[in-house]
Structure 1
């Protein structure tokens, strides 16, 4: 996209003697307004077909439709997302290479994993929180509990506690169990799986007693009676299943764990460019077609801005760092 015509008006001509700092600021604003000036690449550091890839493609299509510039998704996979993240760290800080990742890569892995090549705070600028998905705690149909109070009493009556499944060691849903064990004071044994589908199968069969998972992934099993929903891990109830209470309202204070996906840029990207990207992303997210597509994926749209998104990352990083260290959790990477 060619730069806008900036021929001085009569008033602008009278201001040509202003300080150089004003001119520089105006130049930066013009550059931000021109974004995107060439094709945009969104790095999605996971394989095609998953929620990160699906969301990245929705965002890319919206950018392309709104700007006329090409926007592509680069599935730069490997090392649990860290290869793609490092690629964006090394990209030019001009707003044309962006990173789309889930919460865990930003708030859990920096404490959990050794020898990362990047530092989230130092190397990346938050652009926008894009979408969230509620998480839920469900239990096997043969577990004789129907509430969190009954679960706490049941677990405390057994020295071995209760078993719970998650999609893997160090995942957000693994740490949700560790946090519940810590906050409720109950013994819980983690049973890790490589993904959520086999974990759900074993909980339905009664081989494992509890499962933390995304609500959209398990809603059909809840409504079909294959598992029993005990509580959401989010701060508020979900409009998708308003009958399920939250852990917070059931007495587990400060329990707010939401799966989310965010967009970031290299740290040195100018503030004006970040603001221009956020404005464009906000327009994409609130387009009717985008909203319908994301709802079909079980996602809730949000366009939390640069400052709020950065605060969220720092807050959740501190929470998970305390859980990881106090529970001595290690990923092996």
Structure 2
């Protein structure tokens, strides 16, 4: 056999092998999903991100024909769970429910950056934008923003507020309130909104800035008092609750959002399959009603729209996060 014929044969075998792998890969993508999908929520159970994940994930399970298993992997303001997805195989079986924390705030405040919010993820769909709310334990001696400000000014450093962790939107909501209102409060960070909320309901910490979905039930049953929502406008599910800006802090506005991401280099057919299922789930009447009940503003987007949204949020919140001085280990 000549050298030339050996090279030709080897080239043919390599080419045939590559073609076979490509065909196998394409076939796997066409059949996706063939086993359960893990949707990592990078915060503790009970918070608004967890609520959105479970509502949308359950419907996606029906649409995809495979279980979407919610896994709460909290720590470092969402960094632990996000890093796990960034390092996962890009096969569509490990997804992330990302937030403003994981993709806009953490890049500015992480002491050690373990992922790139743009390069290490594949955007899939922006699911919902969620208002925050300032709540207090009913024993707290104030019912309005102005009354809260007065109590804090009369008692500098006496009161504390809880949040879902250092550098989270809820932490920065509190810092912005302190800055604009020129008041003092001690920050008590927790490993997620759920545990923080439990302590505020129990009266261990009097004040909290929370995502409205996770506080809604406690507000309705009287276990928490809503002082004001953090968005620019009032929300439909609590029309009697004023905005914090209305209450006296002009220009005050914060919010969060929930979006689906996969690891970088997720094949386009899989991205489109997940995007279709997620956006279809958001149109389900039961899902819509449940999300509307907790004041989540349903979006549903293309992967490209989510990608642009992340870049815009990074540019907006990065300077604010750095100015807060917050550092996540």
Note whether the superposition's TM-score is higher than 0.5. yes
Q: Residues 290, 221 of structure 1: CA spacing in aligned structure 2 closer, same or farther, 3 A cutoff?
A: closer
Sort the Cα spacing of 1:75 and 1:215 in 2 relative to 1 into closer, same or farther, 3 A: closer
Whether 1:65 aligns to 2:62 is: yes
* Structure 2: gaps (5+ residues): 1-22
Q: 2:88, 2:263 within 8 Å by CA — same for their partners in 1?
A: yes
Question: What SS does structure 2 have at the residue aligned with 1:187?
Answer: coil
Taking a change above 3 Å as real, the CA distance of residues 54 and 222 of structure 1, as seen in their structure-2 partners, is closer
Query: What is residue 186 of structure 1 aligned with on the other side?
Result: 183
Aligned to 1:129: 126
Which deviates more, 157-166 or 175-184?
157-166
Equivalent position of 1:106 in the other structure? 103
Q: TM-score, normalised by structure 2?
A: 0.72
Shift of 1:32: 12
The aligned counterpart of 1:19 is: none
| Aligned partner of 2:271 among 271, 274, 284 | 274
SS in 1 for 2:235: coil
Q: Is the 8 A contact 2:137 2:201 kept in 1?
A: no
Residue pairs, 1:10-29, within 5 angstroms: none
Q: State how far apart, in whole Å, the 2-side matches of 1:131 and 1:285 are.
A: 9
Higher helix share: 2
Q: What residue number does 2:300 align with?
A: 303
TM value normalised by structure 1: 0.71
Decide whether aligned partners of structure 1 residues 276 and 251 sit closer, same or farther in structure 2, where only a CA change above 3 A counts.
farther
Deviations 1:152-202 (A, max 9, x none): 455445554853232333332111110122233333332334522343135
Number of aligned residue pairs: 300
Cα pair 1:196 1:213 within 8 Å, conserved: no
Task: Give yes or no for contact 1:184–1:252 (8 Å, CA) kept in 2.
Answer: yes
Partner of 1:120: 117
Q: CA deviation at 1:120?
A: 0.8
Q: CA deviation at 1:104?
A: 2.0
Q: 1:214 to 1:262 in 2, by over 3 A?
A: same
Could you tell me which residue of structure 2 aligns to residue 200 of structure 1? 200
1:329 to 321, 326, 329: 326
Partner of 1:77: 73
Partner of 1:169 in structure 2? 166
Answer with 54-63 or 235-244: which moved more: 54-63
Partners in 2 of 1:150 and 1:47 — Cα distance?
Answer: 32
Find 1:263's aligned residue among 260, 264, 287: 260
| Structure 1 residue aligned with 2:310 | 313
- 2:38 pairs with one of 36, 42, 54: 42
Alignment-derived partner of residue 16 in structure 1:
none
Q: Is the 8 A contact 1:134 1:258 kept in 2?
A: yes
**Structure 1 residue ranges without an equivalent (≥5):** 1-26
1:92 Cα shift?
A: 4.1
Q: Is the 8 A contact 1:42 1:73 kept in 2?
A: yes
Secondary structure of 1:117's counterpart equals coil
